[in-house]
Amino acid sequence: MAANKSQFDSQMNDPHNRRRFLSGAGLGLGSIALSSMLADERRANAAGLHLPDGRPHFAPKAKNVIWLFMRGGVSHMESFDPKPMLNKFAGKSIDETPYANVSDPELLKRVRVVVVNDANGQQRKQLYPLQVGYKAYGQSGIEVSDWFPHIGSCIDDIAVVRSMWTTDDNHGAQVQFHSGRHMLDPRVPTIGAWINYGLGTLNQNLPQFISMGPRFFDRRDGHYLGPAYDAVELKVDPSNPLDYASPQRAVTPTEQQMGFDLVSQLNRLSDSRYPRDAAMEARTKSYELAFRMQTAVPDVIRFDQETQATKNLYGLDQPETRAFGEQLLAARRFSEQGVRFIQIMHGGGAAGAWDQHSNLKAKHSQLSMQVDRPIAGLLKDLKQRGMLDETLVVFATEFGRTPGSQGSDGRDHHPYGFSVWMAGGGIKGGVAHGATDEIGFHATENPHYVTDIHATIMHQLGLDSHRMEVAGHKRLEQDFGHVIHDILA
């Protein structure tokens, strides 16, 4: 017996054997749970690269981000950028209007085509009238589409940026909006990964960066930063919120804790012999996080502690809004618990449900109904809890839709000008910043490439985007973006 124990002790003093034991000890989650703690390991082991120490570069205005991304391409003209000239010149070719110059080849050079002669991503010449009305809201009087009345009621807390542009005319623009790079470029880290990389955790029991909803084209975030900075994908399902979260075999919490305690004893024994084994320490902490997440994550997405009034605010009482509303309520609860970056994707399918090449009026109306009330509920709930000041909410999409019609009742992809908005976290409310031309074609006033949104988010979190770089991976100037100071409070 003593010989067996001696042999076991000898084996467990080998870090490789300990790691195998850890991975089979029923602690769950496997590699997906390494994110937060392996980030610490990467910082410790690569000090020569001048990696962040987890602290902001300067005093932050926000602590965390809720990132809402509408996949497929929301029509800017039928959401947050009204263009009455589309009604006046409806049915006419752009060349027959005073705005023929928007087709100047020099103005169209920014786009990089992934698939030549693709049926989509083309310029559409015949102007298509607005498919919805507009109303002015709040003290600011900013006009918002009738498809978004609940968000309109929050407009005095929102800064709309009406002058976004990008260079991908197809749905790889989803990747571009998150990373700043075109699909023809190598994959690089996303905005969520950079924030995960740059800032320390606010809650040792939860990951720093989570994602909910459908993802396509690229489901990774960390790329050359490493998988430690990928988002942890979650579902609003308390019984199974995390893939691979449960142990592979049936074990009780008591048995898990016993195994955990044994490994801790073995690690302490090893630590006395190898006191500077940083890699083992980081991996041990990662499995401790995995163990804690098994309890912490399901607790966050249980809504039995919420009042019925709060649930109704998010639309949980209606079938059209329930699914997205549950994700946003979960986002508020994760934000409350200190998760840094909460990413929520809306719109299933490879291209994204907002991709209305036809039947725009019916489909945009249906999709906006799914998100409008829950998003307004999120803003109002954050505000009444005193959380909006430190929680930055972003509403984005990969590009807009063409002023011209595709077929009889749709709009094509449009990268030259579109809208996003931001609220909370030190953002000035009741602001409409930038502009497109009279028919919504080009961003003409204060144009912003997509990484300007990234730079603004980082700035509000206390990070200088130009200091977010690692050796061996030179970033382009456009990768860093420029802070949109005009929308900061």
User: For residue range 415-468, what is the model confidence (pLDDT) as tens digits?
Assistant: 999 999 999 999 999 999 999 999 999 999 999 999 999 999 999 999 999 999
The architecture (CATH level 2) of 64-229+302-487 comes to: 3-Layer(aba) Sandwich (3.40)
Query: Which 3-state string (H, E, C) describes 130-164?
Result: CCCCEEEECCCCEEEECCCHHHHCCHHHEEEEEEE
> So what's the pLDDT on residue 251?
66
Please give the single-letter amino acid code of residue 466: H
Q: Crossing angle for the helix pair 278-300 and 319-336, nearest 10 degrees? A: 140
- The overall average pLDDT reported for the chain is 87
In the predicted model, is pLDDT for residue 352 greater than 60? yes
> So what's the pLDDT on residue 299?
84
From the CB of residue 440, how many other CB atoms can be counted at a distance below 10 Å?
A: 31
In the predicted model, is pLDDT for residue 289 greater than 90? no
Q: Which two tokens stand for residue 458?
A: 């980082």
> So what's the pLDDT on residue 33?
45
H or E element: which one contains 423? strand 418-423
- pLDDT tens for 100-125 read 999 999 999 989 998 888 888 888 99
| Euclidean distance between CA atoms 266 and 93, whole angstroms | 76
